[in-house]
């Protein structure tokens, strides 16, 4: 998706689940941090922005329907409110449009936090449910229950706090557990679930490269180090004993602190989350994020263009549109992810081998 | 040796579709799309799938089958021309990949029998 204002162009890349994965622009970034670390609440709203030195750059508070509370209100200092950062992800992790009135881009339509309503009707009445009159209003936001529900794509609301249901709204196998909350910054999405008991494991570990994805993204010694680190610490986490390990997936979320060392390895505190296999929606979302990271970090595989057996059909168009020579462009792919429900997908993109520029990411389903 | 039934079926499909692409009884693009659906289950670990994957990815905007009814004739004529040219350019790679897949399936089947 591309936005053009005069000569300023910004390209937004979304992953398979409609979440902002990358943003490219010919305008210099006004962000005070690079990278910025986002901490979210149970709705996925960005509440805290920190830089690589763990300095707090901005804090955000919202009224129930998403209107941001300005700075210097009710004991808040100047860190609060808009204007301290250039982060677009705001209420429930959706992007706040910087150009116009305060509207949030909810994929299918725009939402006004000030009004607590979408500014266009529900496309095709996608979220309407005959048995729930609250859903009949095509402009209403999440059944008028914004503290418990979110609407990731502007089409339908989903609960964030109902115990016993997974992200897809399906009952979890064990069901009925107390809800646990996890916030995923950066991906712009936060949620909680009941049923099984996901646990966040925070460990200190050396020699792990930075990554956001399953432990399998590590290779060689780093992979072993990752598993060893988790194994050695998991015994301290109630229930995460080895006999249970086969039923749980271990994901590294991101280092909460990180210090670059010689040789490209990092020393820091890492967070891992364990989750039952039943969280298919979550797994897909995280896998998609990991695939985007894989593509953007250069851990990809060329499948078409120079050095491969297949000609790149759009080589000349890419050179015309993004620069460089036609022979510099190749098509790359990420690793393939197969979800427990048998859905498989991977990400393809074009890459300029001379400049490293990566454009036009797309998710391929199989 | 126990061979997973889904894997066996997927391999058989891979071999059949690759053969159909070679003898022209299936549209090559449709063939590539179908082949990729069996890639995971077939577990062949064949580099030939990279070629199939690339051709499919390069032509995924090309309408095949009944969906063509929804496109204008001028668009279809333009796309047909462009994609046919592309397919003739990658024909040799596609043939090699299909032959490789058939060979890989045969090898896996023979290995299973010997065990």
Query: Could you say which residues from 3 to 42 on chain B have a Cβ atom under 8 Å away from some Cβ of chain A?
Result: 36-37, 39-40
Under the banding of pLDDT at 50, 70 and 90, the label for residue B112 is: low
Residues of chain A with Cβ-Cβ distance to B58 below 8 Å are 304, 310, 312-314, 331
Mark the ranges of chain A whose per-residue pLDDT is less than 70. Answer: 14-23, 29-30, 34, 99-100, 126-127, 159-283, 340-341
Full residue range of the structural domain in which residue B32 is found: 5-114
Distance CA A285, CA A325 (A): 35
Query: Could you say which residues from 48 to 67 on chain B have a Cβ atom under 8 Å away from some Cβ of chain A?
Result: 50-51, 53-55, 57-60
Select the more confidently predicted residue: A284 or B78: B78
Instruction: Considering only the beta carbons, identify the residue of A311, A314, A333 that sits closest to B90.
Output: A311
How large is the greatest C-alpha to C-alpha distance in chain A, in angstroms? 64
* Closest chain A residue by Cα to residue B82: A313
Residues of chain A with Cβ-Cβ distance to B37 below 8 Å are 366
Could you report the predicted ipTM of this complex, rounded to two decimals? 0.87
Half-sphere exposure of A75 (CA within 13 A, CB side): 0
Under the banding of pLDDT at 50, 70 and 90, the label for residue B92 is: very high
Sheet strands side by side (includes A199-208): A199-208, A266-276, A248-260, A213-214
Domain end among A249, A277, A305: A277
- Taking alpha carbons only, the member of A37, A278, A16 closest to residue A170 is A278
Assess if residue A77 is contained within a domain.
no
Work out the minimum CA distance from B114 to partner chain A, whole angstroms: 30
Query: Could you say which residues from 78 to 137 on chain A have a Cβ atom under 8 Å away from some Cβ of chain B?
Result: none
Under the banding of pLDDT at 50, 70 and 90, the label for residue B55 is: very high
Distance CA A271, CA B47 (A): 36
CA dist A316 → A313, A325, A327, A329 (Å): 8, 8, 8, 9
Select the more confidently predicted residue: B8 or B5: B8
Domain end among A277, A306, A333: A277
Select the more confidently predicted residue: A30 or B91: B91
Q: For residue B41, give the H/E element and its range.
A: helix B39-42
Instruction: Considering only the beta carbons, identify the residue of B36, B57, B93 that sits closest to A309.
Output: B93
Instruction: Give the model's pLDDT for residue A251.
Output: 45
Distance CA A295, CA A301 (A): 9
Q: Let me know whether A313 and A358 are in one domain.
A: yes
Instruction: Mark yes or no for CB contact A303/B59 under 8 Å.
Output: no
User: What does the block give as tokens for A148?
Assistant: 């418990």
Distance CA A279, CA A281 (A): 6
Assess if residue A213 is contained within a domain.
yes
User: What does the block give as tokens for A245?
Assistant: 């390990």
pTM attached to this predicted model: 0.48
Distance CA A313, CA B62 (A): 12
Q: State the total domains in chain B.
A: 1
Assess if residue A96 is contained within a domain.
no
Instruction: Give the model's pLDDT for residue A155.
Output: 80
Q: Counting Cβ atoms within 10 Å, is residue A30 exposed (0-12), middle (13-18) or buried (19+)?
A: exposed
Instruction: Give the model's pLDDT for residue A325.
Output: 92
Q: How many residues does chain A have?
A: 366
Instruction: Mark yes or no for CB contact B51/A310 under 8 Å.
Output: yes
pLDDT tens-place string over residues A335-364: 888 776 677 888 899 999 999 888 888 888
- SS3 of residue A193 by DSSP: strand
Full residue range of the structural domain in which residue A338 is found: 297-365
Assess if residue A335 is contained within a domain.
yes
Instruction: Mark yes or no for CB contact A304/B58 under 8 Å.
Output: yes
Distance CA A120, CA A139 (A): 6
Answer whether A194's CB lies under 8 Å from A172's CB: yes
Answer whether A326's CB lies under 8 Å from A304's CB: no
Answer whether A322's CB lies under 8 Å from A357's CB: yes
Mean pLDDT of B75-99: 94
Q: Let me know whether A213 and A273 are in one domain.
A: yes
Domain end among A245, A277, A309: A277
Which DSSP string do the residues of B48-102 spell out, in sequence order?
A: HHHHHHHHHHHTTTS--GGGGGGS-HHHHHHHHHHHHHHHHHHHHHHHHHHHHHH
Burial track A241-252 (b if 16+ CB lie within 10 A, e otherwise): eeeeeeebbbbb
Q: Let me know whether A256 and A305 are in one domain.
A: no
Work out the minimum CA distance from B83 to partner chain A, whole angstroms: 9
Instruction: Give the model's pLDDT for residue B70.
Output: 86
Q: State the total domains in chain A.
A: 2
Work out the minimum CA distance from A301 to partner chain B, whole angstroms: 9
User: What does the block give as tokens for A247?
Assistant: 């039923």
Angle made by CA atoms A172, A177, A179, in degrees to the nearest 5: 95
- SS3 of residue A221 by DSSP: helix
């Amino acid at each position: 998706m591309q936005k053009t204002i005069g000569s300023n162009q910004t390209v937004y890349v979304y992953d398979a689940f409609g979440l902002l994965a990358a943003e490219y622009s010919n305008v210099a970034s006004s962000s005070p941090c690079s990278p910025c670390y986002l901490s979210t609440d149970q709705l996925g709203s960005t509440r805290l922005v920190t830089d690589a030195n763990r300095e707090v750059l901005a804090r955000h508070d919202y009224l129930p329907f998403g209107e941001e509370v300005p700075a210097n209100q009710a004991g808040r200092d100047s860190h609060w409110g808009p204007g301290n950062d250039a982060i677009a992800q705001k209420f429930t992790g959706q992007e706040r449009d910087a150009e116009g009135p305060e509207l949030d881009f909810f994929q299918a339509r725009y939402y006004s936090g000030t009004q607590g309503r979408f500014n266009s009707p529900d496309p095709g009445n996608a979220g309407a449910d005959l048995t729930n009159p609250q859903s009949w209003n095509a402009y209403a936001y999440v059944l008028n229950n914004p503290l418990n529900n979110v609407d990731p794509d502007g089409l339908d609301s989903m609960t964030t706090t109902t115990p016993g249901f997974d992200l897809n709204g399906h009952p979890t196998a064990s069901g009925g557990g107390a809800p646990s909350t996890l916030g995923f910054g950066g991906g712009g999405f936060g949620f909680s679930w009941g049923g099984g008991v996901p646990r966040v494991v925070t460990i200190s570990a050396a020699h792990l490269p930075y990554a956001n994805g399953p432990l399998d993204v590590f290779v060689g010694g780093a992979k072993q180090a990752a598993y060893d680190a988790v194994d050695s610490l998991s015994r301290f986490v109630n229930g995460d004993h080895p006999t249970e390990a086969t039923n749980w997936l271990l994901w590294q979320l991101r280092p909460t602190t990180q210090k670059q060392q010689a040789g490209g390895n990092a020393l820091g505190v890492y967070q891992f989350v364990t989750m039952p296999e039943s969280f298919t929606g979550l797994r897909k979302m995280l896998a998609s994020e990991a695939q985007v990271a894989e593509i953007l970090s250069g851990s990809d595989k060329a499948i078409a263009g120079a050095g491969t057996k297949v000609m790149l059909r759009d080589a000349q168009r890419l050179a015309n549109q993004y620069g460089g020579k036609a022979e510099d462009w190749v098509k790359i792919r990420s690793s393939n992810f197969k979800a427990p429900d048998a859905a498989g997908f991977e990400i393809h993109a074009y890459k300029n081998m001379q400049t490293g520029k990566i454009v036009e990411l797309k998710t391929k389903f199989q | 040796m126990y061979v997973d039934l889904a894997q066996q079926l997927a391999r058989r499909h891979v071999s059949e579709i690759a053969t159909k692409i070679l003898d022209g009884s299936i549209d090559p693009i449709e063939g590539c799309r179908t082949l990729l659906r069996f890639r995971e289950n077939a577990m062949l670990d064949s580099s030939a799938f990279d070629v199939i994957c690339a051709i499919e990815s390069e032509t995924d905007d090309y309408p095949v089958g009944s969906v063509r009814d929804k496109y204008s004739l001028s668009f279809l004529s333009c796309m047909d021309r462009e994609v046919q040219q592309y397919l003739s350019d990658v024909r040799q790679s596609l043939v090699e990949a299909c032959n490789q897949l058939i060979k890989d399936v045969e090898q896996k089947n023979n290995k299973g029998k010997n065990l």
